[in-house]
A and B are shown apart, each in its own frame.
Chain A
């Protein structure tokens, strides 16, 4: 158990940095909108979605109707539809933890779970769960600190959220080295760049993922086995 926790802490350390500071930015924004740390705590507990929570602050006082807010929420979070596809069997096996694993599948947790390897002497299910749980604890902690004391931070933290970008880049490199075929990575990359140019920064991610999925389905029989290890395992 100790070793599993230690492994989870190491895997999630970059998220600790990113979520604490992003969470604080959220908490501060929320507090300025007139909602204190108790609100920050419960929003981060029940909503738990980074970019969506920033939009949620805009919702308060926006005068938008509930149905418009609902539609915007679905559009902003639509990328999550694709994340679960890789974990259907894995999460189902986790029984009691299954609903929490589905609930807590953020961009960052998804990325780490895609690349995690359970070392010997650790329980893979527990490791998965601890990674998901720790990430949410960091996020809640960050948002409560931000709402309570965000204004007390005086050193310049501009750019610290790059830790999240760097995390995705590292996982990208890892997967590049692990995969036999680079077609999926290249498809995702070129489709994202193309859709970013076509649809602009606010609306590109859903079309990009749809194009990616369509293309990968089209060439289904032309891609060799995805992982090197899968081929070498007898």
Chain B
């Protein structure tokens, strides 16, 4: 611990406050109106699948395709999750099996 306790607390407080601010931003902007503007309602309805797709890419962002087998475990495991989910449509089964497959692959591929 190179910082003093109070210095550390100040840093944590700043990070906490600004993190909350980013989450609160749309609510501060549009939450006070009685009626949320049409265009925001449209975005609110249509954005989730786009954001989830972005988060999936975010999770595999560090794959380097020029460096096999980097990315191999990710692609196989994601394919397993997708196929299993289309077949059984059971969240926990798809996520559980996919994670075990990934762990086996990533721990045994070097």
A interface list, Cβ under 8 A from B: 10-11, 13-14, 17, 33-35, 39, 42-43, 46-49, 52, 56, 59-61, 66, 69-70, 73-74, 77-89, 91-92, 102-103, 105, 107, 110-111, 114, 156-160, 162-176, 179, 182, 184-189, 191-193, 196, 201, 204-205, 208-209, 212-213, 216-217, 220, 223, 226-227
Contact = CB atoms under 8 A, between A and B. Distances in A.
Nearest to B91: A170
A158 B18 CA distance: 31
Interface residues of B, number: 66
Interface in B71-103: 73-74, 77-78, 81-82, 85-86, 91-92, 94-95, 98-99, 102-103
Interface of B: 1-3, 8, 10-16, 18-27, 30-31, 36, 39-40, 42-62, 73-74, 77-78, 81-82, 85-86, 91-92, 94-95, 98-99, 102-103, 105-107
B81 to A, nearest CB: 5
B99 to A, nearest CB: 5
Contacts, number: 244
Given A83-B23, A185-B50, A213-B47, A66 B2 contact: no
- Chain A at the B interface: SS class: helix
Given A175-B49, A216-B50, 17 more contacts: A69-B14, A74-B22, A82-B47, A92-B27, A164-B59, A167-B95, A168-B52, A169-B94, A169-B98, A172-B52, A173-B81, A184-B46, A188-B51, A188-B53, A201-B61, A220-B39, A223-B46
Nearest to A103: B20
A101 B84 CA distance: 32
A129 to B, nearest CB: 16
A88 B27 contact: yes
